[in-house]
């Protein structure tokens, strides 16, 4: 884990995920590139075993789940 002034640095996914907001992506295991993207997970079926699946958030909102 990288540190700066004694504080851990977060993993910076901003550049890797830029332009993929709201998309499903498969990112490489080193988390440095997007292998494939699509509007739904089914379209990524051939790639889901090649990396890490992620639904890239459109983070202009916050989500809180609460069971009734």
Q: Which residues bind other proteins (CB under 8 A)?
A: 1, 7-14, 17-18, 21-22, 24, 27, 40-42, 45, 48-49, 51-55, 57-68
Assigned token pair, 21: 């907001």
* 4, 18 Cβ separation under 8 angstroms: no
Least Å distance, CB 46 to other proteins, is 12
What residues does 34 pair with on adjacent strands? 27
Least Å distance, CB 50 to other proteins, is 10
Least Å distance, CB 11 to other proteins, is 5
How many CB atoms are located within 10 Å of the residue 54 CB?
Answer: 18
């Amino acid at each position: 884990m990288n540190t700066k002034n004694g504080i851990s640095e977060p993993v910076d996914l901003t550049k890797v995920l830029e332009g993929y907001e709201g998309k499903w992506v498969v990112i490489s295991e080193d988390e440095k590139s997007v292998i494939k993207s699509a509007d739904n997970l089914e379209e990524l079926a051939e790639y889901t075993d090649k990396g890490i699946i992620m639904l890239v958030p459109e983070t202009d909102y916050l989500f809180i789940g609460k069971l009734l």
